[in-house]
Amino acid sequence: MLKYAIKRILLMIPVILGVSFLVYFIMDMAPGDVISVIAGDQNLTTEQLAELRASYGLDKSVFVRYLLYMKNFLRGDLGTSYITHKPVLQSFMEKFPATLMLTIASILVTIIISIPLGIYSALKRGTIKDNVALVLALLGQSIPSFWLGLILIIVFSLNLHWLPSGGIGGIKNVILPALTMGTGMTAILTRTTRSSMLDVLRQDYLQTARAKGVPEKKVILKHALSNALIPIITIAGSHFAYCLGGSVLIETVFAWPGVGRLIVDSLNSRDTVMVTGCIILKSTIIGFILLLVDLLYAVIDPRIKAQFAKGYKR
């Protein structure tokens, strides 16, 4: 298993290098550059602009700049922002806890709602209650998250005055953004839990457990659920990663000072180093989360662990 993990981490290196190349070159295609943002309205002459450009190393061709960037990158230096002159890593780490907190809160909301709902729906299969749950899940999946956020703000903060409409602070500030981010995920996870439970509920060993006199509650929660968990964890894990990446809209709607906002602001000021650095860091973190999810299977499912032990190749 350790071998597998190391192999996966090694495979991530070329992917991350590729991502840096891709993002750096796409950013270079943008009209105008960071100099026009820095110079702003101060009517500089062409010579002064050229001088400024040279002082940032922007007079060199994009290939040379990328190679220089990579040289520093391989030493672990992600560069400094053109605008704020702060190291990229430091800026990222300042904003990342907020994004992480939001994502964790939303995944908690998701798990608390969707797993019981999915189990309930599977147990009541074909009834009106099941259909209501399915329709709700489908609606949740189809709602654009940023719009849901706006609607929640209208209802809970502008009309009922229960919760703040944005910003970071106490636990009250997290509720609305976490609900907004979690809704799409809740919908998908409810459906996954339901279908996974339905698969398991058909198995003979549940009948055996019941025949042994195991209480029904234990049959469902222990015997059935623990076997239904694998697809649930896959989806939850990949959605955790997805939310970390897609947090930018929620952060915009709720004025949440996270990494998504940082990237969009840096994009607007053409801060190539900042954007590339943040995307590399985010993609790396997502890669690690997906790896952790894969390793988690082995912990849950002894069959997969046995495959690892035999040196099974994936």
Give the span between the Cα atoms of 78 and 76, in whole angstroms: 6
Q: How many residues does the chain have?
A: 314
Helix (H, G, I), strand (E, B) or coil at 164: coil
Give the span between the Cα atoms of 71 and 93, in whole angstroms: 22
Which of these ranges, 78-86, 100-108, 113-121, 247-255, lies near another protein under the rule CB under 8 A?
247-255
246 interacts with another protein by CB under 8 A: yes
Q: Which residues fall within 8 angstroms of residue 11, CB to CB, at 6 or more apart? A: none
Token pair, residue 177, equals 């953004």
Which of these ranges, 33-41, 92-100, 142-150, 174-182, lies near another protein under the rule CB under 8 A?
142-150
18 interacts with another protein by CB under 8 A: yes
Which of these ranges, 75-83, 200-208, 262-270, 303-311, lies near another protein under the rule CB under 8 A?
262-270
275 interacts with another protein by CB under 8 A: yes
Give the span between the Cα atoms of 281 and 286, in whole angstroms: 9
Q: Which is nearer to another protein, 56 or 288 (CB)?
A: 288
Task: Indicate which single residue of 42, 43, 45, 142 sits in contact with another protein (rule: CB under 8 A).
Answer: 142
Give the span between the Cα atoms of 39 and 236, in whole angstroms: 46
268 interacts with another protein by CB under 8 A: yes
Task: Indicate which single residue of 286, 289, 291, 293 sits in contact with another protein (rule: CB under 8 A).
Answer: 286
Which of these ranges, 54-62, 99-107, 267-275, 302-310, lies near another protein under the rule CB under 8 A?
267-275
Q: Which is nearer to another protein, 209 or 259 (CB)?
A: 259
26 interacts with another protein by CB under 8 A: yes
Quick check: 254 and 166 in contact, CB under 8 A?
Answer: yes
DSSP assigned state of 247: T
Cα distances (Å, whole numbers) of residue 118 to 109, 187, 205, 220, 239? 14, 9, 21, 12, 17
DSSP assigned state of 8: H
156 interacts with another protein by CB under 8 A: no
Task: Indicate which single residue of 27, 35, 209, 235 sits in contact with another protein (rule: CB under 8 A).
Answer: 27
244 interacts with another protein by CB under 8 A: yes
Q: Which is nearer to another protein, 21 or 305 (CB)?
A: 21
Give the span between the Cα atoms of 222 and 7, in whole angstroms: 34
Q: Is 299 exposed, middle or buried (0-12, 13-18, 19+ CB in 10 A)?
A: exposed
DSSP assigned state of 80: B
To another protein, the closest distance from the beta carbon of 238 in angstroms equals: 11
40 interacts with another protein by CB under 8 A: no
To another protein, the closest distance from the beta carbon of 37 in angstroms equals: 13
Helix (H, G, I), strand (E, B) or coil at 87: strand
Would you tell me which residues interact with another protein (CB under 8 A)? 14-16, 18-19, 22-23, 26-31, 138-139, 141-144, 146-148, 150-151, 153-154, 158, 241-242, 244-246, 248-249, 252-253, 260, 263-264, 267-268, 275, 279, 282-283, 286-287
